[in-house]
A = this chain, B = another copy of it.
Amino acid sequence: MRKLEVCFSPAIYPLFKNDNAIVVVIDVLRATSAICTAFHFGVKKMIPVASLDEAAAYKAKKFLVAAERNAEIIPGYDFGNSPYSYMTDKVNGETIVITTTNGTQAIHAARDARQVVVGSFLNLSVLASYLTSQESDVLLLCAGWKNKLNLEDSLFAGALASELLKTGSYAHDCDSTRTCSILYKEAKPDVYGFLNDSSHRQRLAKLDLEKDVRYCLQVDKAPVIPVLKDEFLVKMDL
């Protein structure tokens, strides 16, 4: 049986490190949703960087750069964390550098894994199908919020875990996986409502980003798999 685990925080990723696992990085609101959207709209390559210093260095070299901290775009940069900003022909064929509060930190933490892919509700089915087609263990790495658990990433981990467990190919001897599956079962009838009082929903509501939230919770709207190749994210050939 393949192993399936959920890690709630990049801070404890070393406890879960598994050379046989494909790591799915999850930051539903909004980094990994934005990345899936960007590739769905034709972005050729994304360069995830952990620090604002690295982002600034790329900006100085005339790259397109997405830079977000605490849910807001950093002034002077081309994109923030909104999936809507990528829904334009202008991104087609482009390379975009990206740094976000949590999501790119999680990608950075997992960079030495056997394979790192990007997950969100927007690519749920294609991702579940790819993972089950592989003979690998799976580690769902939630970006969380500043290394603490968050509800929306846990929910998506539950949604993806439920799909994987249906196949009967994964043992889940992991209480985190159980917790996420229970959350998702509870939330499934109304994910948007379920997240109503979550910490990050409240943060985004203050910034008038409800439209982003509604988009990010839709299933299969961007059926692509961003995958880390060396230092870059590219779209996996399916």
Contact = CB atoms under 8 A, between A and B. Distances in A.
Identical copies of this chain, number: 2
Contacts of A178: 151, 197-198
Given A15-B147, A148-B15, A179 B179 contact: yes
A154 interface: yes
Interface string A164-194: 0000000001111011001100100000000
B15 A12 contact: no
The secondary structure that dominates the A interface is: helix
Interface residues of A, number: 28
Given A9-B12, A148-B175, 16 more contacts: A8-B8, A11-B11, A11-B15, A15-B146, A16-B148, A145-B175, A149-B176, A151-B175, A151-B178, A154-B175, A173-B202, A175-B198, A175-B200, A178-B197, A182-B186, A183-B183
Interface of A: 8-9, 11-12, 15-16, 145-151, 154, 173-176, 178-179, 182-183, 186, 197-200, 202
